[in-house]
Amino acid sequence: MIKIICVVGPTAVGKTKLSLKLAEKLDGEIISADSMQIYKEFNIISNKSDLKIKQYFVDFVSIEKEFSVAEYVKLGGECIREVNNKNKIPIICGGTGLYVDSLLNNINFLSFKLDMELGKKLFKLDNLELFEKLKKVDFEISQKININDKKRLSRALEFYISNNFPISEHIKNSKKNKPNYDITKIGLNYENRDALYEIINKRTDEMFKEGIVNEIKSLKNKKISKTAEAAIGYKEILSYINEEVDLETCKKKIKQNTRRYAKRQITWFKKDKNIKWFYLGKYSNFGELFIDVFDFINEKLR
């Protein structure tokens, strides 16, 4: 049985910082479960950290390439086995719930039919229309996909129409045959939602100071993939660059969309009763948090 540590939670709570420290102390390697940090060109926008400890799926593909959950599950399973074969501990770290659940349950998305022509037609609909249609046939999955993520909204709807049952049902059925993993799940969050939102707002301001506008400007002539353009901040900053909105409106929209995304992440992870939650407001510094998390994990790994 492969022992795995999993660190999850909403954006901006310090999942990567905790995972890096755990990897250092426990001789582990990090497998990122962040659907935007996989892109090489997304540095500031995806809030990447340093790479002193190996992190799989960070700077993994170009923004010009489509990258699916199915690919992530296949390659992620190989990464887990590779890390385990080195006698190291795989540490899954990220806030993309669909990536985390699909990888840990080895959900196969490749064995079902999809209609490419239907997919093209669906993709021509706007995001809100896709969301409303998906909500009617698969409410559960509609609440788990970022409304900016047109590719995944259309793909989930395409799955339903092509197979005559919702993708959320397929995910539930797949979980009945879980791989042989012994998983310790850690969740980070704030008990006070306003505290989280304040951190998100501050981080957004920091991203602008670090040069996120120039980062997006440098990508303007690239053919960005549908999955990459779902990144919160990308379309908003393009609107600013194209002089469709002013800077303050752009910042406000990014903060608003990030807060909404964090709320959906919390809703997703709260359904998993196997997650041990640590609330950041209870700790005066990172060291205190780490001691509690480390002690809990050590007990589980014995």
Q: Are 41 and 225 in contact (CB under 8 A)?
A: no
Compute the mean pLDDT over every residue in the chain, rounded to the nearest whole number: 93
Task: Name the binding residues for substrate.
Answer: 11-16
Greater confidence, 52 or 259?
Answer: 259
Element (H, E) at 110: none
Position 42 scores a pLDDT of 97
Structure confidence by residue, pLDDT tens digits, 218-239: 998 899 998 999 999 999 999 9
Residues 76-126 pLDDT 10s: 999 999 999 999 999 999 999 999 999 999 887 766 667 778 888 898 999
Residue set of the binding site: 9-16
Per the CB < 8 A criterion, the answer to whether 200 and 258 are in contact is: yes
pLDDT on residue 178: 77
Alpha helices for the chain (secondary structure H): 15-26, 69-85, 97-104, 116-123, 127-137, 139-142, 150-163, 167-174, 193-210, 212-217, 234-241, 247-270, 286-301
Which residue matches tokens 């995944």? 152
Three-state secondary structure call for residue 69: helix
- Per DSSP, 124 falls in state T
End-to-end CA distance of the chain: 13
Which residues does 49 contact at the CB level (< 8 Å), separation at least 6? 16, 17, 20
**Residues comprising the binding site for ATP?**
9-16
pLDDT at 113: 66
Token output for 2:
């492969």
The domains located in the chain, with CATH, are 2-106+180-301 (3.40.50.300), 111-177 (1.10.20.140)
- Inter-residue contact 264 to 95 (CB < 8 Å): no
